[in-house]
Amino acid sequence: MNDPVLLINYAIVAIGLIIPVIAVYKSRISKLIPALAWLSVLLSAIGSTILLYNTMIKGPIQFYNGLLVHDSFTAFIWLGASLTAALSLLAAGEDPLIWESSPGYYSLLPFVLFGIFIITGANDALLILAAWLLVSVISYVYIALPPEKNSRAAAIRYIMIGAVATLFLAVWIAIDTALASQQGLGSFSLAPLTLDKISGLALATIIAALGFKTGIAPFHWWVPSVYGRADGRVVSIVAGVIKLGFIGLLAKITYALAGGTIVSMGTPILQSLQPATTLAYVFGILAVATMTYGNIAALTTKDLRALLSYSSIAQIGYILAALAALAYFSPRDATLANYAFAAIALQAVAYGLAKAPLFSLTSVETSQDRLRGLLSSNKIAGAAAGVLLFSLLGMPPMLGFWGKLYMFIAVAGFSILLVVAAMINSAISSAYYVKMARDIVSEGENETQVPKHIEAAVMLSAIIILAFGFIAPLIFSIPFP
């Protein structure tokens, strides 16, 4: 109870609750509201850093009698989400204050960060459901917050499909409970897949649920529609911050389904390695479908927001490739499973850090070629946006490169076909990333005028990505689970 990480989380929740109360008196103290949101982000960054340090020194740490278990992987994801939240908040500036719903924008952010702490650490199916509902509802509200028609329309779509996804999660929880009992584990423990047919249903439902949340093909159809239409300032939170939480959850569940948790506990009661292999192949196929769809769809689109949406799908495809390796190696080889964890963590955080400010940038104008002439109108924003694009492309020594390197190391041990697919896709993606980079240096007829707060967010993001490119490899010297 006295753990500093928990205390920090209680403080974050308290801030989330205080903001709406203060908002009643907003005419006099409105500046305090963003300040409090900033405080919650700062606390979250401090908490995640403490947690990361402790997990690196001591290994996995339990909270609430093991209901919540964090390791350096989940701590890094939480840290990445905190930094991404800071970038989103910085990029939004004080713009949301003029929205009618402004208290919502600021008060929900602390809950998002708290939710990510819970959802990535949850070691119990019911707790996963609770955190899922918290974070999901907030993400729907965020999309609906900006006072314009497109965002509202996007939110309705998002909610409709989200509700179905939640239903699938509930079904998975029911089956998981049955599997856990069958295997003599705790009631709502995360049980590994077995050779029983019911495991197939469990797999289908959890992929349907998390596939929706993270934008995995063929559950991704909403992504261009929501990311591409809603206001960039809120999309940056949903696509950047919240998605990191779900990626963390997906990795954790994958590890458990493949039997990694049980094997790492030294009780090899797995019936067979076959379920883990099947899971790996399912993820492998989905990875190829997702990255190929995202990259090819992004090739010819001229709308920056749509392009970022499609490339988000492609990025999830790469993460899925690492997840496939994670599934395969979890019960087999701890070292390679750890490389897969490193790939997921680095790739996901690099994605979040780059996408949050880029989506915010799309809120600047309504022109399609929004990045055109950015360098000539704003040197800092132009150069920084270039760094973000090259990180997404996997250029060294930026953070995205390390994600790709670990991904290729892990996947090369699992499937050469998946490696080749990732290689081809990576090459295809260069076409649109480089085209975007060309737009940045081109001269635009209407040069993009970037507000100071967005310029600061893009620049800060580039600095973090470069700094992490040098520091993150040092961090990842300790095995995760």
What amino acid is encoded at 448 in this protein? T
Q: How far is the CB of 371 from other proteins (least distance, A)?
A: 13
CA distances from 111 to 34, 38, 45, 121, 357 (A): 14, 13, 14, 15, 21
Q: How far is the CB of 459 from other proteins (least distance, A)?
A: 10
Which listed residue (7, 147, 271, 379) binds other proteins by CB under 8 A?
379
Q: How many residues in the shown chain lie near other proteins by CB under 8 A? A: 56
Q: Is 442 in the site for other proteins (CB under 8 A)?
A: yes
Q: Is 157 in the site for other proteins (CB under 8 A)?
A: yes
Q: Do the beta carbons of residue 455 and residue 380 sit within 8 Å?
A: yes
Q: Which among 357, 311, 363 has a CA at the least distance from the CA of 145?
A: 363
Which CB atom, from 142 or from 227, has the smaller least distance to other proteins? Answer: 227
Which listed residue (159, 282, 405, 466) binds other proteins by CB under 8 A?
405
Give the span between the Cα atoms of 163 and 314, in whole angstroms. 24
Give the span between the Cα atoms of 19 and 326, in whole angstroms. 41
Q: Is 466 in the site for other proteins (CB under 8 A)?
A: no
Q: Is 428 in the site for other proteins (CB under 8 A)?
A: yes
Which listed residue (26, 152, 435, 453) binds other proteins by CB under 8 A?
435
Q: Is 419 in the site for other proteins (CB under 8 A)?
A: yes
Which listed residue (107, 426, 448, 461) binds other proteins by CB under 8 A?
426
Which CB atom, from 160 or from 269, has the smaller least distance to other proteins? Answer: 160
**How many helices (H) and strands (E) would you count in the chain?**
20, 2
Q: Do the beta carbons of residue 13 and residue 3 sit within 8 Å?
A: no
- HEC sequence for 365-392: CCCCCCCCCHHHHCHHHHHHHHHHHHHH
Residues 14-73 that bind other proteins (CB under 8 A): none
Q: How far is the CB of 164 from other proteins (least distance, A)?
A: 12
Angle between helices 334-361 and 452-475 (to 10 degrees): 170
Question: Distance from CA of residue 283 to its chain's centroid?
Answer: 17
Distance between terminal CA atoms of the chain?
23
Q: Is 197 in the site for other proteins (CB under 8 A)?
A: yes
Q: Is 331 in the site for other proteins (CB under 8 A)?
A: no
CB atoms within 10 A of CB 289: 18
Backbone angles phi, psi at 339, to 5 degrees: -60, -40
Q: How far is the CB of 430 from other proteins (least distance, A)?
A: 4
Q: Do the beta carbons of residue 287 and residue 215 sit within 8 Å?
A: no
Which range in 33-41, 46-54, 132-140, 405-413 contacts other proteins by CB under 8 A? 405-413
Which CB atom, from 105 or from 222, has the smaller least distance to other proteins? Answer: 222
Q: Which among 425, 439, 431 has a CA at the least distance from the CA of 300?
A: 431
Which listed residue (248, 404, 461, 481) binds other proteins by CB under 8 A?
404
With the C-alpha atoms ordered 450, 451, 452, 453, is the resulting torsion angle positive or negative? negative
Binding mask 205-244 for other proteins (x = CB under 8 A): ----------------x--xx-------------------
Q: Which residue has the tokens 């260069």?
A: 430
Which CB atom, from 116 or from 179, has the smaller least distance to other proteins? Answer: 179
Q: Which among 457, 450, 318, 340 has a CA at the least distance from the CA of 394?
A: 318
Q: Which residue has the tokens 């509902």?
A: 133
Binding mask 341-370 for other proteins (x = CB under 8 A): -x----------------------------
Q: Is 200 in the site for other proteins (CB under 8 A)?
A: yes
How many Cα atoms occupy the beta-carbon half-sphere of 116 within 13 Å?
36
Dihedral angle, C-alpha 168, 173, 179, 182, nearest 10 ° = -140
Q: Is 149 in the site for other proteins (CB under 8 A)?
A: no
Q: Is 413 in the site for other proteins (CB under 8 A)?
A: yes
Q: How far is the CB of 200 from other proteins (least distance, A)?
A: 8
Which listed residue (83, 297, 322, 388) binds other proteins by CB under 8 A?
297
Provide the binding-site residues for other proteins, judged by CB under 8 A: 157, 160, 196-198, 200-201, 221, 224-225, 293, 296-301, 342, 379-380, 383, 390, 393-397, 401, 404-405, 408-409, 411-413, 416, 419, 423, 426-428, 430-431, 434-435, 437-438, 441-443, 470, 473-474, 476-478
